[in-house]
Structure 1
Amino acid sequence: MPTTVGALRASNHVQRGVKDEIRHNLLTALREGRDPWPGVLGFDETVLPQVERALLAGHDMVILGERGQGKTRLLRSLVGLLDEWTPVIAGSELGEHPYEPITPASLRRVAELGEDLPITWRHRSERYAEKLATPDTSVGDLVGDVDPVKVAEGRSLGDPETIHYGLVPRSHRGIVAINELPDLAERIQVSLLNVMEERDIQVRGYILRLPLDVLLVASANPEDYTNRGRIITPLKDRFGAEIRTHYPLELDDEVAVVVQEADLVATVPDHLLEILARFTRYLRESTSVDQRSGVSARFSIAAAETVAAAALRRSAVLGEQTPVARVVDLGTVVDVLRGKLEFESGEEGRETEVLEHLLRRATADTARANLAGIDLGALVGAIDSGAAVVTGDDVTAAQLLAGLPPVDALKEVDERLDADTDGERAAAAELALEGLYLARRIAKDADNRGRTVYQA
């Protein structure tokens, strides 16, 4: 890579503004059939086309969505649309392009060194800045303020080089993301007006014009957007696009989010992930849950991690080699994650009942969806004849399998659920048994020791 501005010119390097750069790289990805949004799931037909249109138009944008809808991940994925490497003036405080210096110090160096001006190369990961909008955020944090240290060194207060630049100017030629923008005090939001329209900054009355080249993006929760805080009208007017996100519309996308984000310490079969995904979706539809607060995707992620942890604990206590989660582990979700939800005021005292009901419904629907067409009559007949099946936290997969009646239907269940190991076969059998119980074809009793007995 060239190391001086003269060598850079000789290499026929073309300078582009950050929005032109993003537009060019986005169009290239779309034309080549590459996914510009790796890791962003469930938005292909709804949100992403809107985002792409906003970027192609060169608009700053605000992303509105409930908690846990992937707003931050979407904003961070914008980094992938920047050039991998870009030249900057060596030692420049604001990362200016060698062809277009904007600070007094860089202008002076260009005049002194000419084509020998040294340059370095900055990776795109260094051109993304993110700020959580907290009530104590100041104008100095975002735009800049006078640096008392530089004044103490002998410079006059009127010298522009006494300014300590804030987050926005330091992101020159990059992307600035402000999370939870309505939480930013209204008087602080005013400091962004010039940045978004005139593309310059003002610091304590200094006659200083910095033609900043930034893409400003923000996220907000719609509830905060209208009640707890607000985006001032002039600032809303300057955003070229306002885009709404949503929770996954399809069950497969819900499961894919859990698979991508969860850190599972044990094997969790697909049918259990499907139960948790359905459970989360039913909570979002429930009139007992405060839907203004929403049910975050983090709920299903944490649920999957909790179920995996329950399986890991059982394997450690009972000496199993490979921990595999089973239906019996789903009960841990209700106790551990109840605090992640906000219930309607009239449901006080019924929270556990509501959660258990919806979890049973999710389990029943998953059993029907995955085991449809398999005749489990022989299994029901065996249990009616007295072949009770015992499971629980103190029952290993091998013990559960040993207590199952020898019926061919269970082999069909294993094949349908791709169960190969003992742990997976035990998990598949428990789904079949729980499905039969929820369909009221067999009974189930649980004791205080955590044991569950499926019986006639």
Structure 2
Amino acid sequence: MSRTEPPEITTVAELRAAGHTQRGLREEIRDNLINKLAAGEDPWPGLHGFTDTVLPQVERALLAGHDIVLLGERGQGKTRLLRSLVGLLDEWTPVIADTELGEHPYDPITPEGRRLAADQGDDLRISWRHRDDRYAEKLATPDTSVADLVGDVDPMKVAAGRHLGDPETIHYGLIPRTHRGIVAINELPDLAERIQVAMLNVMEERDIQIRGYALRLPLDVLVVASANPEDYTNRGRIITPLKDRFGAEIRTHYPLEVADEVAMISQEAQLVAEVPDHLLEILARFTRNLRDSAQVNQRSGVSARYTIAGAETVAAAALHRATVLGEPQAVARVVDLAAAVPVLAGKIEWESGQEGREADVTDHLLRLAVAETARHRLRGLDLGPVIDAMADGAEVVTGPRVGATALLDSLPETGDGTFAHIAELLDAEGPGQQAAAVELALEALYLARRVAKDDADDGTSTYG
């Protein structure tokens, strides 16, 4: 979404004359969410599979003004959901110019902001902050300090001659600097417990205290966080007082429908070649099979990044073939799936006792995905003529080094245009897409044990 130009108002007097009213952060988010829902506008563009489960819970939490922690396995879109909250902020908001914390001109909270408001009066200079600049994200790591999140004394300001007790010697941390904005903390359980304690005042009293200073800043921030369940219980934990301060604890999940998984791949994958929809569906079903497998460690999960990386690898294999063979169009086929599985092995954690069986399990689950997709995509199509042609001695050769035209030229004559029907059913246009469609049908027949397939040492496969 492109930015509009900020208002041309430059002083607080002009701001008042324009009729601007101040709203708290939670009121601002609530109003904007209500307006989007009332207008039938999607507040969560780009999120798939959460429409009837996670998003209604998030919307209720925001309407209630609650801080939120998302719990879910890796690759479930938690961070993307947190970042999408930015869209519920006003595009531009006024702040006191040349101050650190983005204070509202009507309500300065720091000694510096109050001094500027007193000295300049109606001529108090203001600037405009875009909503993208009102969102701060921090990955919780063991070396994160209180100074990073809350603040500390700035020794440079003290060395410059200011008194140690001067509040303006403070260097503010991430949370104060996001005053009137959203603070997102990823992997919250990895944050040291003493650092979590420093957040208690921010979450409940909405203020901060730094070292021995009697400085209280009434912050207006929405705190959101993410956590993996295994970290939540084992490697780290969210301390009980901090958990108690989150108004909403929401569980995320992987897409429940194949269509949502395919839409997610299409949106996120950076493809260097064309990958037909039926191949994306195979990858989606393969990933879902892994998530249902007893041999895979489901506490770790199988990330959506696995599917995305698989689609990108399949596209790369197609581009490599097209480049080597000089094909004008690079289109992925079923044969390219074999290139993706080995390079993605490190993204899966297996249950103990599965050593040495990983390749067999993944090969079996991939074949199931191909068969399921073929049944879905080719439902109702009579492939009997193809089987008959194979029984009469016809052979079709394919492989990572066999071009689309060579594959199509080797197809037997079936008499009723079966291969043309396959291409039409899968909306395949051009040699690359047609070869991809035909190869799906041939592999489906092989998996159904209706035709044979011979894999040669050079990587080619012969259906016959």
Q: TM over 0.5, yes or no?
A: yes
Deviation digits for residues 276-316 of structure 1, max 9, x if unmatched?
Answer: 00000000000010000100011111110010000000001
1:249 corresponds to 2:247: no
Equivalent residue in structure 2 for 1:56, among 41, 52, 63: 63
Asked if residue 357 in structure 1 is aligned to residue 364 in structure 2, the reply is yes
The residue number in structure 2 matching 1:419 is 428
Letter in 1 for 2:358: E
Distance 2:99 2:40 in 1: 37
**Secondary structure at 2:109 match in 1:** coil
Aligned counterpart in structure 2 of residue 189 of structure 1, from 178, 196, 214: 196
1 CA distance for matches of 2:285 and 2:100? 51
**More displaced 10-residue stretch of structure 1: 130-139 or 196-205:** 196-205
Moved more, 427-436 or 332-341: 332-341
1:126-175 deviation digits (Å, cap 9, x = unpaired): 00000000000000000000000000011111100000000000000000
The count of aligned residue pairs is 455
Give the whole-Å Cα distance in 2 for the aligned partners of 1:263 and 1:285.
Answer: 27
Residue 392 of structure 1: aligned partner: 399
CA offsets, 1:428-455, max 9 Å, x none? 0000100000000000011111100001
Q: Offset of 1:214 from its aligned partner?
A: 0.3
Following superposition, the deviation at residue 372 of structure 1 comes to: 1.4
Match of 1:381 in 2: 388
Local SS of the residue matching 1:368: helix
TM alignment of 1:265-414, pairs within 5 A: 265-407=272-414, 408-414=417-423
Counterparts of 1:299 and 1:105 in 2: how far apart (Å)?
50
Gaps of 5+ in 1: none
Show CA shifts across 1:96-137 (max 9, x none).
000000110111111111000000000000000000000000
| Residue matched to 2:145 | 138
Note the alpha carbon deviations across 1:170-210, whole angstroms, 9 max, x for none.
00000000000000000000000000111110111100010
1:421 is matched by which residue type in structure 2?
G
Query: TM-score, normalized by length of structure 2?
Result: 0.98
State the alpha-carbon separation in 2 of the partners of residues 214 and 335 from structure 1: 45
Q: Aligned to 2:344, what secondary structure does the other structure show?
A: helix
1-structure distance, mates of 2:299, 2:400 = 37
Matched, 1:454 2:463: yes
**Unmatched 5+ stretches in structure 2:** 1-6
Aligned partners of 2:424 and 2:88: how far apart in 1? Answer: 44
Amino acid at match of 2:212: G
When normalised by structure 1's length, the TM-score is 0.99
**1:46 aligned partner:** 53
- 1:394 Cα shift? 1.6
Aligned mates of 2:384, 2:338 — CA distance in 1: 27
1:384 Cα deviation after fit: 1.1
- Cα distance, 1:412 vs structure 2: 1.0
| Structure 2 Cα separation of the partners of residues 116 and 366 of structure 1 | 67
Residue type of the partner of 1:195? V
Query: How big is each residue's C-alpha offset from its partner over 1:224-281, in whole Å with a ceiling of 9 and x where there is no partner?
Result: 0011000000000000000000000001001001000000000000100000000000
Partner of residue 14, structure 1:
21
Equivalent residue number for residue 450 of structure 2:
441
Q: Distance in 1 between matches of 2:18 and 2:376?
A: 61
Q: Which residue of 1 aligns with 2:3?
A: none
Displacement of 1:368 in angstroms is: 1.1
Give, in whole Å, the separation in 1 of the partners of 2:131 and 2:373.
44
Partner of 2:4: none
SS state of the match for residue 345, structure 1? coil
Q: CA RMSD in A?
A: 0.6
* Deviation per residue, 1:379-410 (Å, 9 max, x gap): 11111111100011221100000000122111
For residues 24-74 of structure 1, the C-alpha deviation after alignment (integer angstroms, 9 at most, x for no partner) is 000000000000001111100000000000000000010001000000000
Tell me what 1:198 maps to: 205
Q: Does 1:431 align with 2:431?
A: no
- Counterpart CA distance in 2 for 1:237 and 1:377 is 64
Counterpart in 2 of 1:31? 38
Task: Report the Cα distance in structure 1 between the residues aligned to 2:358 and 2:423, rounded to whole angstroms.
Answer: 35
Q: Distance in 1 between matches of 2:229 and 2:41?
A: 32
> Aligned partners of 1:43 and 1:51: how far apart in 2?
10
SS in 2 for 1:347: coil
